[in-house]
């Protein structure tokens, strides 16, 4: 049988119908597909116009840009930007002495200088960078912001004998010989004691000596700069305020939360029942109560709990509360990372003969922590937003300073309030939005690299 006609080649595809292609097709599909869609589009567009147009009018077109007092803003319906300009230093530094403003500026700048390369994945020297940021930067920042020169009197030995009877009261640039003699003697005695006890249990002398010496050198390296007198004027924390306080609380909180969180997470996954229970109780306690009650606890109860607690500055007390609180949340983030490390990693480490701390420190934690960096960043965003609560215990952060400025009669105008909210909201939004985008970027990157590894293994 022969066919009368057989098509020899495929027909070329016909162009898609007009209603599906081009700009018109996009409109038809994405905005006007059904009558209900048309209604929603119109309502949505109206809502957008109703929000965006007045916002721009307020922020830009009707706004007052120049002026020196409230007189400039009395007759406007737009933002009163001179108010922000006049209060700018207060919003950023609080009541930090004007001549000393270079110090917070240096701290801001140094932080940025260390954070940016730490945040960009392709920049090398991550380990050095991390040590600089997490260990050295806090000490430098502390000295610069407070003025340092803490002048400690006693270490361990000094609590039992009067060291000053044996050492001359020499001071070298703020560092007392009495204290450092105390420190050296205490370190020697403790090192010897620990090494002997460890030897008794079978640890080699050299190992424990090395560990103890490293520990005390580290402690000395932290205490020395804080003790030394660099000739900086002392600035009490009650003079701090604004964005400075916001950043100090957030960064100090997260830096303190990391070690606390790692220890708690390890403890929560421990085989030792009591250790596990203690960690669970600690974590669930701090996660179960609101941050405000934690701040109240730090402000009203902590002074009763500690000897001379009433002398601890308000900001430091709040920082202790924030560190405990965010440490508990950090523990849960780290725990997620620990759970994500495959079991064969533990088994391989055990097969290599590594002990618990080496397994954790060299094999498990590096993997667990890199996998939860997005979680840590999200935690930081939460903490950054939560720092606003410190104003409830009378520490004026950025929002607190803005709120306090509302009551300044020199700047009372119909739009002062809204301008202040616009400014504070803008800053919070820019910080949080940038960080959340960054965390999203890291998540995507982690996702694609995991895929890549999977593909390579196939």
Partner 1 sequence: MADVPVRRDRLKASWIFRPGVRSAVIQFLLLALIALAAWYIFRTTRQNIASQRLVTGFDFLWVESGFSISQTLIPFSEANTYARAFLVGLLNTLFVSAIGVVLATVLGFLVGIGRLSHNWIISRLCGGYVEVIRNLPLLFQILFWYLAVLTSLPVPRQSISLFGDIFINNRGIMIPKPVFGEGFGIVLALAAAGIVLSAVLSALARRHRIRTGADWKTWPAALLFILVLPLSAFFYLGVGVEIDHPVLRGFNFNGGVRIIPEFLALLIALSTYTAGFIAEIVRAGILAVPRGQTEAASALGLRRRSVLRLVVVPQALRVIVPPLTSQYLNLTKNSSLAVSIGYPDLVSVFAGTTLNNTGQAIEILGITMLVYLVISLVISFAMNLYNRRIALKER
The least CB distance from residue 337 to partner 1, in Å, is 18
Task: Give the distance from CA 48 to its chain's centroid.
Answer: 34
What is the signed CA dihedral for 52, 55, 56, 60, rounded to 10 degrees? Answer: -170
Question: Of the listed pieces 12-20, 135-143, 268-276, 314-322, which binds partner 1 according to CB under 8 A?
Answer: 268-276
Is residue 98 helix, strand or coil? helix
Closest to partner 1 by CB, 291 or 395: 291
Copy the structure tokens of residue 425.
């909201």
Among residues 211, 275, 280, 312, the one that binds partner 1 under rule CB under 8 A: 275
The answer to whether 413 contacts partner 1 (rule: CB under 8 A) is no
Which of 253, 245, 238, 399 shows the shortest CA–CA distance to 322? 253
Copy the structure tokens of residue 59.
């922020």
Tokens 């801001």 belong to: 108
Question: What is the per-residue binding string for partner 1 in 378-397, x denoting contact by CB under 8 A?
Answer: ---x---xxxxx-xx-----
The answer to whether 436 contacts partner 1 (rule: CB under 8 A) is yes
Among residues 19, 21, 22, 29, the one that binds partner 1 under rule CB under 8 A: 29
Closest to partner 1 by CB, 178 or 390: 390
Closest to partner 1 by CB, 182 or 386: 386
Distances (CA, A) of 245 to 105, 108, 188, 311: 13, 12, 39, 20
Closest to partner 1 by CB, 141 or 242: 242
The least CB distance from residue 246 to partner 1, in Å, is 10
Copy the structure tokens of residue 148.
């340092």
The least CB distance from residue 245 to partner 1, in Å, is 14
Question: What is the per-residue binding string for partner 1 in 190-209, x denoting contact by CB under 8 A?
Answer: -----------xx-------
Among residues 306, 339, 362, 394, the one that binds partner 1 under rule CB under 8 A: 306
Packing angle, helices 242-268 and 398-405, rounded to 10? 150
Among residues 121, 231, 366, 425, the one that binds partner 1 under rule CB under 8 A: 425
Q: How far apart are CA 94 and CA 426, in angstroms?
A: 18
The number of residues that bind partner 1 (CB under 8 A) is 59
The answer to whether 428 contacts partner 1 (rule: CB under 8 A) is yes
Is residue 272 helix, strand or coil? coil
Which of 384, 95, 73 shows the shortest CA–CA distance to 236? 95
The answer to whether 307 contacts partner 1 (rule: CB under 8 A) is yes
Q: Which helix (H) or strand (E) element contains residue 376?
A: helix 373-386
- C-beta separation of 327 from 264 below 8 A: yes
The answer to whether 54 contacts partner 1 (rule: CB under 8 A) is no
SS in 3 state form for 257-268?
Answer: HHHHHHHHHHHH
- C-beta separation of 326 from 294 below 8 A: no
The answer to whether 452 contacts partner 1 (rule: CB under 8 A) is no
The least CB distance from residue 436 to partner 1, in Å, is 6
Question: What is the per-residue binding string for partner 1 in 308-327, x denoting contact by CB under 8 A?
Answer: -x------------------
- C-beta separation of 395 from 315 below 8 A: yes
Task: Name the CA radius of gyration of the chain, rounded.
Answer: 30
Q: How far apart are CA 209 and CA 207, in angstroms?
A: 6
Question: What is the per-residue binding string for partner 1 in 32-51, x denoting contact by CB under 8 A?
Answer: -x---x--xx--xx-xx---
Find the distance separating the first CA and the last CA of the chain, reported in whole Å: 51
Q: How far apart are CA 138 and CA 252, in angstroms?
A: 8
Among residues 205, 217, 219, 292, the one that binds partner 1 under rule CB under 8 A: 292
Which of 141, 140, 434, 381 shows the shortest CA–CA distance to 254? 381
Q: How far apart are CA 323 and CA 298, in angstroms?
A: 11
Among residues 53, 116, 272, 339, the one that binds partner 1 under rule CB under 8 A: 272
Question: Of the listed pieces 88-96, 159-167, 169-177, 299-307, which binds partner 1 according to CB under 8 A?
Answer: 299-307
Q: How far apart are CA 276 and CA 278, in angstroms?
A: 5
The least CB distance from residue 17 to partner 1, in Å, is 18
Closest to partner 1 by CB, 178 or 383: 383
Question: Of the listed pieces 5-13, 73-81, 158-166, 295-303, which binds partner 1 according to CB under 8 A?
Answer: 295-303
Closest to partner 1 by CB, 133 or 384: 384
DSSP state of 397: B
Closest to partner 1 by CB, 134 or 428: 428
The answer to whether 433 contacts partner 1 (rule: CB under 8 A) is yes
Closest to partner 1 by CB, 55 or 161: 55
What is the signed CA dihedral for 281, 282, 283, 287, rounded to 10 degrees? Answer: 100
Contacts to partner 1 by CB under 8 A: 29-31, 33, 37, 40-41, 44-45, 47-48, 201-202, 271-275, 278, 284-285, 287-293, 296-297, 300-301, 303-307, 309, 381, 385-389, 391-392, 399, 403, 406, 417-418, 421, 424-425, 428-429, 432-433, 436
């Amino acid at each position: 049988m022969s066919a009368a006609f057989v098509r020899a080649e495929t027909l070329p595809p016909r162009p898609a119908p007009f209603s599906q292609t081009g700009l018109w097709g996009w409109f038809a599909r994405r905005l006007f597909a059904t009558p209900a869609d048309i209604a929603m589009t119109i309502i949505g567009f109206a809502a957008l116009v109703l929000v965006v147009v007045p916002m721009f009018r307020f922020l830009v077109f009707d706004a007052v840009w120049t002026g020196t007092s409230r007189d400039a803003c009395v007759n406007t319906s737009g933002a009163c930007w001179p108010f922000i300009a006049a209060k700018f230093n207060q919003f950023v530094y609080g009541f930090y002495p004007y001549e000393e403003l270079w110090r917070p500026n240096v701290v801001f700048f140094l932080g940025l200088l260390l954070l940016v390369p730490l945040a960009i994945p392709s920049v090398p020297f991550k380990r050095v960078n991390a040590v600089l940021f997490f260990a050295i930067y806090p000490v430098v920042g502390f000295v610069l912001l407070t003025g340092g020169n803490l002048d400690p009197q006693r270490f361990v030995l000094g609590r039992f004998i009067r060291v000053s009877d044996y050492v001359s009261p020499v001071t070298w640039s703020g560092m007392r010989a009495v204290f450092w003699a105390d420190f050296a003697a205490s370190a020697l005695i403790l090192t010897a004691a620990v090494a002997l006890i460890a030897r008794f249990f079978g640890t080699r002398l050299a190992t424990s000596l090395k560990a103890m010496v490293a520990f005390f050198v580290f402690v000395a390296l932290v205490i020395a700069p804080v003790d030394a007198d660099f000739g900086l004027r002392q600035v009490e924390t009650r003079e701090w305020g604004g964005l400075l306080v916001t950043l100090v609380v957030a960064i100090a909180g997260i830096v303190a939360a990391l070690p606390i969180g790692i220890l708690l997470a390890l403890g929560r996954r421990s085989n030792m029942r009591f250790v596990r229970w203690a960690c669970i109780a600690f974590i669930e306690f701090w996660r179960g109560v609101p941050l405000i009650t934690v701040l109240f606890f730090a402000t009203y109860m902590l002074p009763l709990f500690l000897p001379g607690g009433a002398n601890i500055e308000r900001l430091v007390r709040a920082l202790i509360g924030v560190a405990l609180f965010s440490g508990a949340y950090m523990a849960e983030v780290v725990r997620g990372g620990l759970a994500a490390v495959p079991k064969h990693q533990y088994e391989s480490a055990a097969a290599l003969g590594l002990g618990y701390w080496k397994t954790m420190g060299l094999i498990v934690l590096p993997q667990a922590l890199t996998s939860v960096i997005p979680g840590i960043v999200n935690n930081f965003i939460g903490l950054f937003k939560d720092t606003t609560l410190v104003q409830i215990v009378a520490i004026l952060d950025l929002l607190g300073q803005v709120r306090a400025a509302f009551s300044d009669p020199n700047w009372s105008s119909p739009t002062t309030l809204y301008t202040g909210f616009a400014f504070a909201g803008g800053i919070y939004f820019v910080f949080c939005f940038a960080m959340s985008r960054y965390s999203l970027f890291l998540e995507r990157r982690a996702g694609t690299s995991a895929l890549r590894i999977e593909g390579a293994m196939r």
